[in-house]
Amino acid sequence: MPFARLATATTPTCHIGLGLAAVGRPGYINLGRADDLPGERTVEALRERTLELLDAAYAQGVRYFDVARSYGRSEEFLADWLNAHPEADDIVVGSKWGYTYTAGWSAEAETHEVKDHSLATYERQRAETEALLGDRLDLYQIHSVTPDSPALTDKDLHARLAEAAAGGLTVGFSTSGPAQADAIRAALAVTVDGEPLFRTVQSTYNALETSAGPALAEAHEAGLTVIVKEGMANGRLAAPHAPEMLKAVAEETSLGCDAVALAWILRQPWAGVVLSGAATVPQLFSNLHAPAVDLDVDQLTRLATLKEEPRAYWERRGQLPWH
């Protein structure tokens, strides 16, 4: 299993991965993008920004990179970096299928991505990913599984995923929405020939949205690697948008709100890899301070008061505009 390489790495930043959702396409729902990205968000401008981030992340010990078919040209940009760095054979690459990017490189598109968890979509997107990443792909995840996803019950799809796993690919899934815990538990029950199908789970978990925590602990206990996404709540936990409580704790630690928010996640015993969604190199460096943040019991207790009701959290997330 490729994630074993992360567990044995010597640098603490190996437990922070880099996700390319924010830089693989011109439009996304993260706050602050007007300041984070080049004024002209051309393909070449974002390719250059992505390569800068990958260079910086690798130099600082980051060894997991996360992309998706729906993250614009993220797979293409990562493939460019991998082809330019053949010596970086210790990288773990994860991608996702199940959403198709439909924005046509426009931040103002009416529809940015379309979800489809059918076998036909898997076959098509698997070929597209293969063409870009080839044998550098370690992990392929079903993108944003919810309790009603056909991917949880489609036996033909399960058989094809099991074939991929038998060929050496790690098969996982990601979740989203207020019923993440239900989706995780349903996925843990999926088996092929009596063996669990999924080896990783990637879920939203942050100081505002903690509802998946117990189910993620169960997944960890079952042997899955847990990847945490959206640890910054799409920018809501980063300065200047962070709640006052988080700003106060950050001031006490002399580090950024982002580092404190990610450190809070790293304190969870089941957290295997926590993703940075940085769009700039300074943001990335600030995120990478998270393993050094030492939060005391009082600070952890105060941060726990930030928790929101899951449906309210996801409703607000759904209202964030694409910038």
What are the structural domain ranges in the chain? 4-318
**Which residues does 99 contact at the CB level (< 8 Å), separation at least 6?**
68, 69, 70, 113, 114, 115, 116, 143, 144
H or E element: which one contains 251?
Answer: helix 244-253
Report field, pTM of the whole predicted structure over 0.85? yes
Q: Which residue from 150, 97, 152 is spatially nearest to 123, judged by alpha carbons?
A: 97
Pick the CATH number of 4-318 from 3.30.70.3400, 3.20.20.100, 2.40.30.10, 3.30.70.920: 3.20.20.100
Q: Quick one: pLDDT at residue 323?
A: 83
Tokens of 51: 């390569």
Q: What is the pLDDT of residues 45-62, one digit of tens each?
A: 999 999 999 999 999 999
Length of the chain equals 323
What whole-number distance in Å separates Cα of residue 179 and Cα of residue 146? 7
Query: Across-strand partners of 203?
Result: 228
Q: What is the pLDDT of residues 189-217, one digit of tens each?
A: 999 999 999 999 999 999 999 999 999 99
User: Could you give the residue ranges of the DSSP H alpha helices within 85-206?
Assistant: 119-133, 155-166, 180-188
Q: Quick one: pLDDT at residue 91?
A: 96
> Which stretches of the chain score pLDDT less than 70?
1-14
Q: Quick one: pLDDT at residue 10?
A: 47
Tokens of 156: 């033909």
Q: Quick one: pLDDT at residue 6?
A: 52
DSSP-assigned states of every residue in 77-94: HHHHHHHH-TT-TT-EEE
Q: What is the pLDDT of residues 81-103, one digit of tens each?
A: 999 999 999 999 999 999 999 99
What whole-number distance in Å separates Cα of residue 299 and Cα of residue 295? 6
